[in-house]
Structure 1
Amino acid sequence: MAAKPASRFQFGAVSAVFSAFLIDGAGFGAWAALLPVFKSQLSISDGQLSVALFSMVIGSVAAMPIAGRFIAHLGSRRVIIAAAVAYSILLPLVAFAASPASTLAIFAIGALITGAAKGSLDVSVNAQAIAIENHEGRPIVARCHGGWSMGALTGSLFVAGGLKLSLGAPLIMTLLGLLLLGLAAFSGRRLTEHDRPDEHAHHRHSLWPRGRLAPLAALAFIALFCEGSMADWSAVFLADVVGAEPASAALGFATYATAMTASRFCGDQLSHRLGPVVLMRFSGAVAALGLALSLASQTYWLGLLGFAMAGFGLANIIPALFRAAARHGHAGPAIASVSTVGYVGLLIGPPIIGALSRTLGLPLSLGLLVLFSGVLGASANLAKPRGTH
C-alpha cells in the first residue's frame, strides 16, 4: 500500500503524539535520576527503596485496565490529556513525599498515585500512535518511542543540571512539572480521534494475549523489564557500587537514554535494511555485551560505555515486537494486550532487582538483565513477518 501524501494534519497529529510520549519519558527520566537523592534523603536501603518501586507498579497495573476501558468508551485523546495533566502535577508531589522530613510510607503512597497516572499515560499514548500509523499508512511507532527516550534523556539531564545548581528535588520536579503541563496543552489540541469509541469492542477482543500473541507478550515483558531496571538502577549502581557523586551518577542514565534515543530515531531504517529478525538478534547481543561490560568493570567510564551499548541494543526491540503483534490480528487490541503485559515488566523489573539486591548485591542482581538480553536476541524469529520462512 502506498503511503499517503504528507499533510499538515499528519504533521500536527504526529507531533502531538510524539509530545505525549516525550511527557511520559521526561517524568520517568527525572524519577530515575532522582532515586539516589530520594534514597539518601530518606536514609533507606535498596530493599526499602524497592517498596516505593513496588508501589508504583501497583498503581500502574491497577490503572491500566481502567484506562483501557476509558479508551474504549472515550478514545485515547481524552485519556492522554487527563493522564498527562495528572502526571505533571503529581511529579512535584512525589518529590515532596521523599523529603528528609517525610517517611517511607508517605513516599510509597506518592509513588502509588504517580504510578497510576503513568500507567494510564503509557496505555493511551501507544493506542494513539497505532491509530495514527494505521490511518496515515506511515511507520511512526519507533519514532514515537524515540520521543519517549528523548523525554527520558531530557528529564535526567534536567535533574542533573538542577543538582549541579544545588536545587532541591521538589523545586526541580516543580519546574519540570510546569514545563510538562505546557507541553500537554500543546499536545492535547492536536491529538486525533481516529480510535473512535466502539461500545462493542470489549465483547470482540480479549485484553489478554492469546495464541501467537502470548510469546510476543512474554518478550515484551522481558524487554521492558530490562528498560525499567536500567532506568531505575543505573544511577544507583554508579553511585553506590562505583562511588560516583550524585550528579555524575545521574549521567549514567542520561548516557543510556542518549544511545537509546539515537537508535530509535534510525530504527525504521535499520529494520528496513536488516529485517526485523536480524535487527533483533543484533540488538540483543549488543545489549548483553554492554551490560556485562558495565557490571564486570565496575568503573565509571566503562560503566557509561556499557550503558550506552545497552541503550542502543534495547532501543528497537519493543517497536519490533509491537509491529509483530499488529500482524497477528486486529492491530489495536493486539498491541494493547502485548503492551499491557510489557509495561508490567517495565514497572515490576526495578523492584524485583531491588529485592534481589538485598541478598545477592546490586551487581549480581543486574546480571539478570544480561541473561534477559540474550533471550531476546535468541528469540528474534518471533518478530518474523507473517508468510516468511
Structure 2
Amino acid sequence: MTQTTSSPSPIPTAHGNLAPAARERARFATMALFFIAGMAYASWGVHVPTVRDKFQLDPAMLSVALFVLTGGSIAATVANAKWIARAGTRRACLVGGLVMSASMALILAMPTYALLLPVLAAFGAGMATMDVAMNAEASAVEQALGRPIMSSLHGMFSLGGMIGAGIGGLALSHGMASAVHMLLAALVCVVVLVVACPAVLPHIPHTESHHGGARASRWRSPVLWALGAVALIALIAEGAMYDWAAVYMRDVVRSTPAFASAGYAAFTGAMAAGRFAGDVVRARFGAVQLVFASGSIAFAGMVAALVLPFSVTALIGFAMMGIGLANMMPVLFAAAMRVKGIHAAEGLAHVASIAYVGLLFGPVLIGGVAQVANLSIGLAVVALCAALVAVIGPRVLKRLGV
C-alpha cells in the first residue's frame, strides 16, 4: 500500500537551506501555536454553559451564538486567504492570535446578548485566521524537516484543549470568576504569541504546483470535493463535541460544573493521545484502515455515552470519541495536500473551507434537534456522522491510492 499521506512533500529550496537549529525552533514554535489555539478554544468550550446561564439562553438562542462564532470563522477563512498568502504565516499567526485573545477576554465581560454576538464573531475570525496560517506553517515545517509531523502538531492543539479545560474546571471549582479566568487565558495566549512567532519559518510564496506540470483548478477537482465532504461530516461530530459536551454532562448526566469540565477534558485528552500516536499508526497500518477504525471507535463511544448517561460511562464514551476523531483532520488534510496537479496549500484550503461548514452547521443542527426533542437525540447525530465517516472515508482514500 502506498503511504502517500505519510511522507512529506519535497522541501522548498529556501526552507531546505535553513540550519537544522532554525528548523527545530520553527517546529517548537508551531507546536506552541497549536497548543494555545487548543487552550483558547477549550476555555471557550468550558464556558458555553456559563454563557447560556448568564444570558438565560434557550437551546435555539445558544445555537445562534454558536452559529455566529463559526460564521465568523468561515467568513475570515474566505476573506483572509489572499492576505495570509501576501503577509505570510508568521504575521498572520500573530495578528489572528491577537484578535482571538482580545475577543476571548471580552466574551464574558459583555453585558448583553446583542453585544456578545459580534465579540463571538471576532473570536471565530481570529481563531480561523490563526488556524489557516498555523496549518500552512505546519506543512512548511514538515517539508523542511523531511518527516511527517502533522498529526503530532494537531495533537498539541488537543493537549492545549485538555489542559485548558482542566484549568477551567479547577477555576470554576475554586470559585474564580469566569470572566477573570477567560482574561488570564487570553494573557497566556498573548505571551506565547509574542515569544513564539519570531521563530516561525519565513514566508516563501509558491506559484507552481509541487507535483510539477500544469496546475488544475481546485474548484473542479472531484477528489478534493470528496475529501471535503468526508471532512465536513467529521467536523460536524467534532464541533458538536466541543460545543455540547459540557452541556450534556451538566443537563443530562447531571454532573457538577467541575465534573462537566472533566468530560470535556476526557474528549480532548484522548484526542491528543490519539494524534500523538497518529503518525506512527498511519505509517504502520495505512490511512484507509486508520480512518475505518477511527470512525468505528467514535461511533461506539458516542452510543455508549448516550445509552448509558452516567458520569463514568459518559467519560469513557467521550474519551472513545476523542480517540476516534483524533486523526480525521490530519489524515484528510495530508491527503488534500497531495492531490495531483493541485498545490498543497490550495488543496488544504479547499478541503478546510468545506469542512468548516460542518463546524458552522453541526452545533446548530444539534441545538435544533435538542430544541424539538432533547439533547440526547440531538447528539445521536454525532454517532451517525462517525458511522458515515467509517463507511465513506476509506472508500474516498482508496480512490486516491493512499
Same fold (TM over 0.5): yes
Aligned partner of 2:34 among 5, 21, 34: 21
Aligned partner of 1:46 among 49, 59, 67: 59
Instruction: Give the Cα separation in 2 of the matches to 1:209 and 1:108.
Output: 35
Letter in 1 for 2:105: P
> In the alignment, what sits opposite 1:184?
193
Aligned partner of 1:159 among 155, 164, 168: 168
Residue by residue over 1:174-200, the C-alpha shift from the partner in whole angstroms, topping out at 9 and shown as x without a partner, is 111111111111221111124436599
Instruction: Give the Cα separation in 2 of the matches to 1:255 and 1:298.
Output: 15
Letter in 2 for 1:118: M
Letter in 2 for 1:52: A
Letter in 1 for 2:377: L
For residue 386 of structure 1, report the CA deviation from its aligned partner.
Answer: 4.3
Q: 1:113 and 2:142 equivalent?
A: no
TM-score (norm 2): 0.90
> In the alignment, what sits opposite 1:88?
101
Letter in 1 for 2:316: L
Give the conservation status (yes or no) of the 8 Å contact 1:238–1:244.
yes
Greater mean alpha carbon deviation, residues 86-95 or residues 234-243: 86-95
Instruction: Give the Cα separation in 2 of the matches to 1:301 and 1:104.
Output: 35
Aligned partner of 1:286 among 297, 307, 312: 297
For residue 292 of structure 1, report the CA deviation from its aligned partner.
Answer: 0.3
Aligned partner of 2:227 among 216, 222, 228: 216
Compute the RMSD of aligned alpha carbons.
2.3
For residue 43 of structure 1, report the CA deviation from its aligned partner.
Answer: 1.5
Instruction: Give the Cα separation in 2 of the matches to 1:151 and 1:209.
Output: 37
Instruction: Give the Cα separation in 2 of the matches to 1:66 and 1:198.
Output: 20
> In the alignment, what sits opposite 2:43?
30
% identical equivalent positions: 33
> In the alignment, what sits opposite 1:354?
367
Instruction: Give the Cα separation in 2 of the matches to 1:219 and 1:86.
Output: 30
For residue 346 of structure 1, report the CA deviation from its aligned partner.
Answer: 2.3
Give the conservation status (yes or no) of the 8 Å contact 1:232–1:350.
yes
For residue 39 of structure 1, report the CA deviation from its aligned partner.
Answer: 1.0
3-state DSSP of counterpart to 1:235: helix
Instruction: Give the Cα separation in 1 of the matches to 2:47 and 2:220.
Output: 35
Greater mean alpha carbon deviation, residues 228-237 or residues 118-127: 118-127
Structure 1: unaligned runs, 5 residues or longer: none
For residue 318 of structure 1, report the CA deviation from its aligned partner.
Answer: 1.1
Q: 1:147 and 2:149 equivalent?
A: no
Residue by residue over 1:218-264, the C-alpha shift from the partner in whole angstroms, topping out at 9 and shown as x without a partner, is 11111111111101101000101111111111111100011000010
Instruction: Give the Cα separation in 1 of the matches to 2:134 and 2:186.
Output: 18
> In the alignment, what sits opposite 1:243?
254
Instruction: Give the Cα separation in 1 of the matches to 2:352 and 2:133.
Output: 11
Instruction: Give the Cα separation in 2 of the matches to 1:279 and 1:181.
Output: 36
TM-score (norm 1): 0.93
Give the conservation status (yes or no) of the 8 Å contact 1:294–1:307.
yes
Give the conservation status (yes or no) of the 8 Å contact 1:73–1:198.
no
Q: 1:367 and 2:380 equivalent?
A: yes
For residue 127 of structure 1, report the CA deviation from its aligned partner.
Answer: 1.1
Instruction: Give the Cα separation in 2 of the matches to 1:209 and 1:232.
Output: 33
Structure 2: unaligned runs, 5 residues or longer: 1-6, 210-214
Give the conservation status (yes or no) of the 8 Å contact 2:96–2:130.
yes
Letter in 1 for 2:144: H
Aligned partner of 1:316 among 307, 327, 352: 327
Q: 1:126 and 2:158 equivalent?
A: no
Aligned partner of 1:70 among 73, 83, 87: 83
3-state DSSP of counterpart to 2:359: helix
